[in-house]
Amino acid sequence: MKRKELYESKTPKVYKSPKLNHSNFGDFTHTDYQVYLMLLSKLGGVDKNGKYLQSKELKREHTLSAKEFGYMFKMAPQNSYVALKKAVNKLLKTDITVPEEGTTSYWRINVCSQAKYVKDEGKIEIQFTDSIMPYLKQVKERFMVYNLADISNFKSIYATRLFELLQEFKETGWMIKSLDELRHAFAVGNQYPKYANFKARTIFPACEEINKNYHMKVHFEEIKEGKSVTAIKFIFKPVIVLRSINETTGETKTRFIKHEKKIIDIPSQTKLKSTDKKSKPAPKKIKKRGGFFSSVINFFRKK
């Protein structure tokens, strides 16, 4: 099959179906998950005519270098090599759990059919499985997309996962998830069986970290059945949506004005603010002259 000529975005983007976005990633660490997301960003895209690619048109084999991974996630070179080497094993051994629509059943799907760590070149080469490709197809209005750089500052996998879930509701400004759905998406397993611990370890710090990086004002309300909390309603600042219609084709084009990102990097040298007063130089001390003649003069002045 002849591959279409692709339009390469200057900013790597992550494309996912809602099912894949709600899936459970087992024992992936945050770094493992970042490697996985960067690999996903390599297979999405559009052709030269602006049409989204479908699963049969997507390339399955991809390469990720430690250099580009470290640059994206602000990681030291040596740490990037270690991250890729560990991720190779996780990508092969770990399967993801994807919910089946309309049922309480789940599909278990392997991410990669093969993966190789090339030590001398500091890179990994992987091949996505046929089973996962349908969840990566880009059906208009039915897939979630965001810039990979949007989550590059997050230090917690819970912040990354919550941010991804919120992207599906970015136009409304609110989202309701049951505790079971959140536990599944956060892949906590049997950890934090008590709600108070689960909230303190995952929900609260995730909201806090997102707000630290973005002007989203994320907060949440507890939904109860009797005295027990059963679901969480997340409330946040929605994105601005701009829609325009092509007069020739009649197609509607949608553009989103994303949440403003906060500047959290502290410069090495801080500059004086415009309202700060500049310190005045200390007055010079006038040394008093001593000696015999000055003593005589002072004697007569006192007279």
CA dihedral 262, 151, 27, 67 (to 10 degrees): -120
Rounded (10°) angle between helices 77-93 and 30-43: 80
- Three-state secondary-structure class, residue 295: helix
End residue of a domain, out of 121, 150, 179? 150
Give the integer Cα–Cα distance in Å for 73 and 213: 14
- The answer to the question of residue 18 being in a domain is yes
pLDDT of amino acid 17: 82
pLDDT of amino acid 13: 85
Task: Please indicate whether residue 42 or residue 232 has the higher confidence score (pLDDT).
Answer: 232
- The answer to the question of residue 217 being in a domain is yes
Give the integer Cα–Cα distance in Å for 145 and 256: 11
pLDDT digits (tens, 9 = 90+) for 151-188: 999 999 999 999 999 998 988 999 999 999 999 999 99
pLDDT of amino acid 280: 47
- Check: CB of residue 32 under 8 Å from CB of residue 87: yes
Task: Please indicate whether residue 188 or residue 92 has the higher confidence score (pLDDT).
Answer: 188
Lowest-pLDDT choice from 54-63, 209-218, 261-270: 261-270
Are 113 and 175 within one domain? Answer: no
pLDDT of amino acid 206: 97
Are 125 and 217 within one domain? Answer: no
Distance of CA 136 to the CA centre of its chain: 19
Are 14 and 110 within one domain? Answer: yes
- The answer to the question of residue 226 being in a domain is yes
- Check: CB of residue 112 under 8 Å from CB of residue 39: no
Are 164 and 145 within one domain? Answer: no
Are 135 and 210 within one domain? Answer: no
Statement: residue 53 has pLDDT above 90: no
- The answer to the question of residue 288 being in a domain is no
- Check: CB of residue 89 under 8 Å from CB of residue 75: no
- The answer to the question of residue 42 being in a domain is yes
DSSP bridge partners of 256: 241
User: How many structural domains does the chain have?
Assistant: 2
Statement: residue 301 has pLDDT above 70: no
Are 146 and 14 within one domain? Answer: yes
- The answer to the question of residue 284 being in a domain is no
Mean pLDDT for the chain overall: 80
Amino acid letter, residue 273: K
CATH of the domain at 224: 1.10.10.10
Instruction: Give the residue numbers spanning the domain of 184.
Output: 153-262
End residue of a domain, out of 132, 150, 168? 150
pLDDT digits (tens, 9 = 90+) for 222-278: 999 999 999 999 999 987 766 677 766 666 665 556 666 666 554 433 333 333 444
Are 177 and 136 within one domain? Answer: no
- Check: CB of residue 176 under 8 Å from CB of residue 231: yes
Are 56 and 122 within one domain? Answer: yes
Are 49 and 71 within one domain? Answer: yes
Are 86 and 29 within one domain? Answer: yes
Are 93 and 160 within one domain? Answer: no
Statement: residue 292 has pLDDT above 90: no
pLDDT of amino acid 192: 94
What band does 1 get if pLDDT is binned at 50, 70 and 90? very low
pLDDT of amino acid 241: 66
* Highest mean pLDDT pick, 39-53, 98-112, 138-152, 156-170: 156-170
pLDDT of amino acid 99: 79
Tokens of 206: 């995730």
CA dihedral 200, 203, 208, 210 (to 10 degrees): 160
pLDDT of amino acid 107: 86
End residue of a domain, out of 117, 150, 183? 150
- The answer to the question of residue 101 being in a domain is yes
pLDDT of amino acid 255: 57
Statement: residue 59 has pLDDT above 60: yes
Hey, how many other C-beta atoms are within 10 angstroms of the C-beta on 116?
Answer: 13
DSSP bridge partners of 5: none
- The answer to the question of residue 235 being in a domain is yes
Are 103 and 166 within one domain? Answer: no
